[in-house]
Amino acid sequence: MNLYKRWTDMVVEYVKHHGEEAFWDKYSDIERRIYIKILASHKDTLSTTISDLAKEFETTPEFVMGFVDGINESLLESIDLETISEDSEVEFKIDFEKLYYNMLDAKADYLYELSQWEGIFSKEKRTEIHKAWKSSKTVVNENKVGRNDLCTCGSGKKYKKCCGK
């Protein structure tokens, strides 16, 4: 069984036996500690194996695989998760702007509020990324219905006499 499959199976079993909250407490602690290291040395590309990273952060290769799964879409070169093993050399070439955006999208305030971001982006840049993220979530209706236009529901009545009441 590959490491990615072991990770997904482990999540299911962990949640079954310990609960979802316990899983997220444990996983987010591991994830936060790894991100602190990566963000603190953001000018260097982290290159390591899954097992070495697991030893360094005193966790299992499965939890590290979860981290790799989470950061994968923020990497400049994504990793084929199905082929990775504990002894695979992984290189984290990170698009930090995309990573910050994805952390906002995941509502991971325990990650995007880390003080290590200050060494990467200015407060203004982080605010700019946050505004871009917010605007991507805002739906703008381009077709404004006037009071005297036909109702959009298809009734044939004027909007003010139908759905606009």
* Range name among 42-51, 99-108, 131-140 with the lowest pLDDT average: 131-140
Domain ranges of the chain: 3-139
pTM over 0.85? The answer is no
Q: Mean of the pLDDT values across residues 85-108? A: 95
Burial of 52: CB neighbours in 10 Å, binned 0-12, 13-18, 19+: middle
CB atoms closer than 10 angstroms to residue 125:
14
* Range name among 1-15, 31-45, 90-104, 135-149 with the lowest pLDDT average: 135-149
Confidence (pLDDT) at 163: 87
* pLDDT over 80 at 141, yes or no: no
Mean pLDDT of the chain: 93
Q: Which residues pair with 47 in a beta bridge?
A: 91
* pLDDT over 80 at 140, yes or no: no
Band the pLDDT of 96: cuts 50, 70, 90: very high
